[in-house]
Structures are given as C-alpha cells and as structure tokens.
Chains A and B, each alone.
Chain A
Amino acid sequence: MTIMTDPPQESFRLSMLLNDTRYRSYTFQFIALIVLIASAAFLMSNLFSNLAAAGLNISYQFLGSPAGYDINQTLIAYDSQSTNARAALVGILNTLLVAFLACVTATIFGVIAGVLRLSNNWLVSKLMSFYVEIFRNIPVLIWIIIIFTIMIAVLPGPRAFRGDEPSASMVLNAVAFTNRGVYIPAPVWGPGSLVVVATFILSVFGVFAYRRYATKLLYDTGRLLPMGWPSLAILFVPTLLIYFIMGMPIGLDYPELKGFNFSGGIKVGGPLIALWFALSIYTGAFIAENVRAGIQAISKGQSEAAGALGLRQGRIMNLVVLPQALRVIIPPLISQYLNITKNSSLAIAVGYADVTATLGGITLNQTGRAIECVLLLMLFYLTISLSISAIMNVYNNSVKLKER
C-alpha cells in the first residue's frame, strides 16, 4: 500500500480501473461484492418464493398461545397452560443455569489439572495428562450419555428407599441419591431470617475491609497481622450469634419419601447433574491445557527471582506466575466458555429441558413452526455468546499487560 502514500497527479480516466494496478484491485473487489450480494439476494428470494409456494408464512403468533406440555425443571412458575414464550423462557433459564454451573466447575477442574500437570511428582503429572487426553479426545455427547447411563444404572430408584429393610438409605438422613436426581434439604425462611442474612452480607464486607486494612498496615508500617483466622471469625461468629439470638429462624426442609418420589427439599435432577458434570470434565480438560500453556509461557527466571527473594512455592505460583499467566490464559478461556454454552444444547440427549429442548424441540414439533423457532434459537445463542465474550473481554482488558 505504499503506492497510496503518493497520490496520482494526473487526472483519473475510466480505463485506469482495469489497466492501472493502483485501481485494478478495487475493480475486482467491487465486482466480487456485487456477485456476492446478487447471489445472496437470489438465494433469499428463492427461499421466500419457495416458502410462499409451499404455503408457509412466517408468523410468531404461536409464541402467545398455550404451550400445552409440562417441563420437569422450571426455575420460574410454569404449567402446561403457560404460553410458548414462557416455555422458551424456562428453557433459556435452564440453559443459563447449566452453562453457568459448568463454566465455574470447568474452570476449577481446569486450573487444578493444569497446575498439577506441571507438578514434579511423576505420578500426579502423569495422572493429569491421562485425564486431559482421555476427556479431551472423546466427544462430549458420549460423555453426557455415559455419565447419565451410569447414574441411572448405579444409583437406586426411590423404590429402594421404601420398606422396613430398605436396600438404600439417605446420607445423614438428609441427602438422597437416587437415579432420578439428588434430593437435598431446602432452607425454610422463618420470620427474622432477613436479619441473619443481612448480618452475613455485612460480615462479608467486614472481611474485605479487614483484609484491606491489614494490607495497608503491612505496606505502611511493616506490621504483619494474621489473615486466616480473623477472616473466618468475622465471617461466621456474628452470623451465628444473630442466628441463635433471633431464635433459629432458618430451618431445613428435609426430603422424604411420599408416594412415588421424594418430596420436600430441593431436587437436583439427574439430567442436570449428568450434563453439568460431563460439560465440566470435558471442557476442564481443554482449560487445563490453556492453563499449562499460560504457566509455561512465563519465563523460568520469574519463579527463580521470586525464589531468590525468599517466597515459598505456593506464593510464587499465586503472586508471581498465575497473575502473569492469566494474560495468556484468558483469551482461549473465553472460547471455552462459549463452547460450554453451545454444547449445553446437547441437553436433549438426557432429557434436560434447555432452550433447544423446549423452544427448538417440543414447541417446534407441536406448532410446526420450524423456521421461526430455529431463527429465535439462533438469535438467542448469538446474543448469549456475544454477551459472554463481551464480559470476558472487559475482564481480559483489566488483567492484560498495561503498556506504558
């Protein structure tokens, strides 16, 4: 493009579009653009005329009509008389739930496995590379089905908990592991429980304030205050005191066998567990490789210098290596989070009611509005993916190397 810095003095002639190398590329790009637009227009008009010929009109009225089917996991109120739009919303929330849970656990698995893979302990590092290679190289759909099938086959059904001599029993009389899901106690918020919750939230702020004060004191005067036990004390002591003063307002609702199933408590469904766990370990293996790459990108001199300053191994990793490694780790991590969100659409394999199963599955089938439903699905996944990537980019900007 150096030619462009020296603009032509002579007047422009039409023939130069073809003969002059300065303009010829524009000519070809323009022609290519026209051809592209024309072919897109042709395909679109072809699509619309075929839709019209087949008598298919695009209409979103079905969203307002009753869905007519039930969903097994609903985070918001829903029954079979709710609209298709609400069924889609239930699905969207379920997708976001499993994507969020899987992103958190995949990151934890990935960081642990990535760091341990670089361990000097031969057994640990080999075990971790075994984990990475096994889980990364088998498709996630197969993992989802394997985990779900094992859950169904190994865990007892609710029937096994019944009778005088049940073949299965609840753990600590509070948690029931069944092949339909895990039932855990649910909190019951009595009067005055708001005070307890408020105290706990204030305690969290208190912990941050204390740690900030301790750090400031260390930098200003060199006095080192203990961090560990005071933080724990600030976090729990006031909350527990208030809890007992208010007369134990928060109770637990234990699950118990009633009829065919357990009732009471919170049910974490089998499909959710299988999907969550499969996405976590599968993507965790990829994240482990990102973490390893990030750590290895930090020159050995950094840890040696930190060691020379007298820092312990753990602190070298936490204070020197990981903060720098994050700059390398974050960008590929974004795409792993996007993968988790998109892979969650495999939920239908285990009957988890995500948005692909409700809007793109049952609603699509019962209304026959395939084009409308798929367009909405595309819009949803596009929006979510772009949002995740925008949020992660903000975070990436905050940790990336500040060039001065």
Chain B
Amino acid sequence: MKKSVFFGALTVAGLAAGAAAAGTLDDVKARGKLNCGVTTGLVGFAAPDANGEWNGFDVSVCRAVAAAVLGDASAVEFVPTTGKTRFTALASGEIDMLARNTTWTFSRDVDLKFTFVGVNYYDGQGFMVPKELGVSSAKDLDGATVCIQTGTTTELNLADFFRSNNISYEPVPIETNAEAQQQYLAGACDVYTTDASGLAATRATFEAPGDHTLLPEIISKEPLGPLVRHGDNEWGDVVRWTLNALITAEELGVTSANISEMAAGTNNPEINRLLGTEGTLGEMLGLDADWAMKAIAAGGNYGEVFEKNIGESTPIGLARGLNAQWTEGGLIYSPPFR
C-alpha cells in the first residue's frame, strides 16, 4: 500500500514539477479550492462534526488562508493525513499546505525541504495515565508499556527521556490517535504519550475523563505550526502573513464582532494597514486589499479561534499558558504589519 502511495507520489511529483514552479498561489486561485492537510481526527484541532463539516484550531488556519486567497472560507478541500503520510502528501503537491499539529524541527525544515511559516501552538510532550495506577511522576514509569503514535517526534523524545533517566519501557507503535485511544482504554498500554494538547483533546472524548490524569512532566519542546514546501516563497508569505494577521488582530483588539465597523477606518494606522483601508499590503502579497479582513472574519482572531476550539470553555479546556499574546506573558508574537 505504501509503495503504491510512494510511486503515486513520485509520478505526481514528476508531473507537478513543472506546475509547481508556476506558483502555488496561482494554482490555488485557478483551482478555486485550497487543499489543506489536517489530522485524521483530533477533536479541537481538526475533526469533522456530525454533518461532516471540519472544525478545529488547525482547520481555522486553513479556512483563514482560503478566505484570504479565495474570499471564501469554505473553499477548502481537507485532506486527512497520518503522521507518516503528511510529508509525502505535502512534498508531492497533493496538498498546498499542512496544518496538522506538526512540530517545527531542524531536519524537517532543512533536510525534508519544508518551510514552517510560524507557530500557532507552543506545545510539549506529556504523559496520560489512568488514576488507578497511582503514578504521580513520569520517572515512576519504569517497565511500563507506552502507546505512541508512530512517525512523530514524540517517538524519539520518548526514547531519549527513558534513556536519560535510565528506566525501561515497552513501546507500542500506533498509526492514528483513534487506535491509540482504543488500546489505551482497553489497558493494552499503561501510558499514552503525545503532545500535551493532544492528550487533553483525547481525554475530553473519554466517557470518564476524570479517571485519567496528565503527569506533570513535559519532556520536550513542540512548537506546532503550519508548513509549506520549500522554494515557493510567495505562497509561503501568504500563509505566514495570514497566520500573523490572526495574531495581530487579537493584539490590536480586532474581533469578528467589530471587524466590519473597524474596516470602515479607524485612527490606528496599523489596524488600517491590516484591514486594507490604508497602504498596499494586499497587493504586495498578490491578494485583494481586504485579504486580512476576510481571513479574520472567517473564524475570528487568534484568541477567538483558540477559545472556540480548545479554550477553557470547551471540553478540552486548555489554558492559554505559553500561547498567550506576548503582551500578556505568552510567546505569541507577530512581526508588525508595515
């Protein structure tokens, strides 16, 4: 199966090599649809709802880009990818961008030839255990069986963590989050490890979330962000600045509620430049003047997207923490719109 995917990808890569050079932005405009790679289903980040409509934190980035480029937040074709298939899908041109809680690492950026356009969630790898085990620290996990999603950075972090603490474990490699959940709940593994946000999202879907606890150790840095292929800087800029527009909007207090009012013109020049009533930022990107306004109107600013999908009022209940604006002690920071 994988071989056919590979050769398919190879063929597509061969055929698309000429087309890719023409520019992803033009391709997306001509197609009228954005192909966006997401997870196969992680509630809060990207999962289809009862009507088959994709929703979530990562999905909102896709929708914002579609709104900025095509003016229509629903003009997105969501392509579910696993930890293993995501990079092939992006490299082959099957998807235009990948927004799938993917960790920004040196080798992915440099060796795999991708461009991470920013960070939309600062995460770290954690552990979830059933409360009845009575474990209070990850260092007590000597000899435990650990469920882990294969093809991710968590696999390597886990090996390093147990090795440096000189304790043993038995890995159970699993393809998707849903399978991991099934094995964890059946007791086929004692511990489930992935990014802490993913653990919180998974726990929220359990019948009895209170029976499971997240251990205090966060064993790695996992800056998650959308990424595009190397070599198409125009398209990279579009995705990067769409993300930055959402972040800047929160910083400047532009929300989906007051955006139409602010678009009429304000006395803050940065808001005016962002929303296109002043300057030619949209034109520089090859987009309409009101591109950022459409992106923000699609799902709200960064803070609104966070609160709606994974914030404390949702079952997932993640605090802003590192993901607060820099003005509020977090790491979320956008370069200026100028």
Contacts and interface: CB of A to CB of B under 8 A. Distances in A.
B175 A348 contact: yes
B139 interface: no
B50 interface: no
B88 A353 contact: no
B151 A362 contact: yes
Contact of B186 (A56, A179, A349, A366): A179
Interface string A355-373: 0110011101111101100
B14 interface: yes
A366 B156 contact: yes
B14 to A, nearest CB: 5
Given A69-B155, A259-B142, A360 B173 contact: no
Interface stretch (A93-101, A110-118, A151-159, A325-333): A151-159
B175 to A, nearest CB: 7
B6 interface: yes
Interface in B158-195: 158-160, 162-163, 169-175, 182-183, 186-190
A157 B175 CA distance: 21
Nearest to B83: A365
16 contacts: A47-B14, A50-B17, A53-B17, A69-B156, A80-B159, A80-B160, A152-B186, A153-B186, A157-B188, A260-B143, A263-B143, A348-B173, A351-B173, A361-B150, A365-B87, A378-B3
Contacts of B84: 361, 364-365
Nearest to A49: B17
Interface string A279-293: 000000000000000
A46 B151 contact: no
Contacts of A13: none
Contacts of B171: 69-72
A176 to B, nearest CB: 14
Interface string A155-191: 0011100000000000000000001100000000000
Contact of A362 (B91, B113, B173): B173
Nearest to A351: B173
Contact of A72 (B13, B111, B170): B170
Interface string B137-152: 0000111110000111
A7 interface: no
B338 interface: no
Chain A, interface size category, equals 35 or more
Contacts of B183: 152
A68 interface: yes
Interface string A109-153: 000000000000000000000000000000000000000010011
A193 to B, nearest CB: 28
A372 to B, nearest CB: 12
A374 interface: yes
B219 to A, nearest CB: 14
Contacts of A79: 163
A39 interface: no
Contacts of B14: 46-47, 50
**A-side interface mostly:** helix
Given A70-B162, A370-B6, 9 more contacts: A70-B171, A72-B170, A79-B163, A159-B133, A159-B187, A260-B190, A365-B87, A368-B87, A378-B3
Interface of B: 2-3, 6, 10, 13-14, 17, 83-84, 87-88, 91, 107-108, 111-113, 132-133, 141-145, 150-152, 155-156, 158-160, 162-163, 169-175, 182-183, 186-190, 230
Contacts of A258: 143
A70 B132 CA distance: 27
B112 A368 contact: yes
B186 A157 contact: yes
A79 B160 CA distance: 11
A364 to B, nearest CB: 8
Nearest to B180: A351
A55 interface: yes
B83 A54 contact: no
A157 B187 contact: yes
A365 to B, nearest CB: 4
B271 to A, nearest CB: 41
Given A53-B17, A70-B171, A362-B173, A259 B160 contact: no
Given A362-B173, A368-B87, A259 B13 contact: no
A397 B237 CA distance: 67
Nearest to B175: A348
B159 A70 contact: yes
Contacts of A387: none
Contacts of B2: 356, 360, 374
Contact of A261 (B145, B155, B173): B145
Nearest to A47: B14
B22 to A, nearest CB: 14
Contacts of B156: 68-69, 366
A384 B38 CA distance: 37
A53 B231 CA distance: 10
B151 A368 contact: no
A50 B173 contact: no
B206 to A, nearest CB: 17
B149 to A, nearest CB: 11
Contact of B144 (A54, A259, A349): A259
Contact of B143 (A53, A261, A371, A374): A261
Given A50-B17, A270-B188, A351-B173, A361 B151 contact: yes
A70 B174 contact: no
Contacts of B87: 365, 368
A55 B160 contact: no
A357 B145 contact: no
A149 B178 CA distance: 13
A343 B55 CA distance: 37
Contacts of A157: 186-188
Contacts of A47: 10, 14
B170 A353 contact: no
B136 to A, nearest CB: 15
A177 to B, nearest CB: 13
B155 A362 contact: yes
B186 A50 contact: no
A260 B144 contact: yes
Nearest to B111: A368
A68 B173 contact: no
B3 to A, nearest CB: 6
B145 A260 contact: yes
Interface string A45-88: 01100100111100000000000111110000001110000000
A362 B160 CA distance: 15
A371 B108 CA distance: 16
